[in-house]
Amino acid sequence: MSSLTMAEKICLAMRMLYLKGLITPLAGNISVRIDNRILVTPSAKLKFALRPEDIVEVDLQGRVLRGDKPTSELPMHLGIYRVCKECRSVVHIHGVYAPLLRQEDLALLPMDVELEYVLRPRICFVHTKPPGSTELASAVIEGVSSGCNVVVLERHGIVAVGSSLELALELAEAIELAARRMISGYAKR
């Protein structure tokens, strides 16, 4: 059995996120840093149908080396890699529950054992900013620069960073699940 290339892993991750309802057909993005280049999802392509050849390769300044137009959130990804040297992946999802959280909810987020003792998220909150904007990118970069590995975006989604694609995916999904548990618990009161 051959191992998957990183571009194949990104495509598989995007399909998985779509099937779980964590991204919509055109929203959400992933990047992976490999040395001095970044593989990133493209703009304006169906995320559940991405093929390895659709993945865009850019340098650390954002110049396209291979592929079409990268995600509009590329400046956010580039900034994260500039301030977080150990970060090797950025995952941005548009979950159902996390966008409903308020800043004060983060302290109450239910942590299961894996989340609390294994993943140990450091969570920041960003108030509503336009998607793809420099304001959003700056706010997320500031959060990561302050030591957060998860940034909850009010009315938008989650940005998770990690030393691998797998870790960033796990963080994003675990926080979305915790938000679901919290909001479901509130609904039962």
Does the active-site annotation cover 73? yes
| pLDDT of 1 | 32
The structural domain count of the chain equals 1
The helix-helix angle for 6-19 and 165-187 (nearest 10°) equals 10
Residue 1 lies in a domain: no
Q: Does the pLDDT value for residue 154 go beyond 60?
A: yes
Cβ atoms of 48 and 19 within 8 Å: the answer is yes
What mean pLDDT do residues 65-71 have? 97
114 within a domain of the structure (yes/no): yes
- Domain extent, residue 48, equals 6-187
Is 137 contained in some domain?
yes
Query: Do 129 and 69 touch, CB atoms closer than 8 A?
Result: no
- Percentage of the chain beyond pLDDT 70 is 95
Residue 110 in domain: yes
CATH number at residue 36: 3.40.225.10
The answer to whether the CB of 38 falls within 8 A of the CB of 81 is: yes
- Measured distance CA(162)–CA(124) in Å, rounded: 15
Instruction: Specify if 14 maps to a domain.
Output: yes
Kindly report the backbone phi and psi dihedral angles of residue 68, in degrees, each rounded to the nearest multiple of 5, phi listed first.
Answer: -90, -150
Which of 8, 73, 135, 173 is catalytic? The answer is 73
The pLDDT assigned to 119 comes to 73
Q: Say what the pLDDT of residue 103 is.
A: 83
The b-or-e profile of 94-120 (16+ CB within 10 A means b, else e) is bbebbbbbeeebbeebeeeeebeeebe
Q: Is the pLDDT of residue 115 over 80?
A: no
What value does the mean pLDDT take over residues 153-166? 96
Angle CA 3–8–13, to nearest 5: 110
What mean pLDDT comes out for the span 124-130?
93
If DSSP codes are grouped into helix, strand and coil, which group holds residue 159?
Answer: strand
Q: Tokens at residue 51, please?
A: 């093929």
CB 161 within 8 A of CB 86: no
Band (pLDDT 50/70/90 cuts) for residue 158 is very high
Check whether 113 has a pLDDT greater than 80.
no
Please tell me the predicted confidence (pLDDT) of residue 86: 96
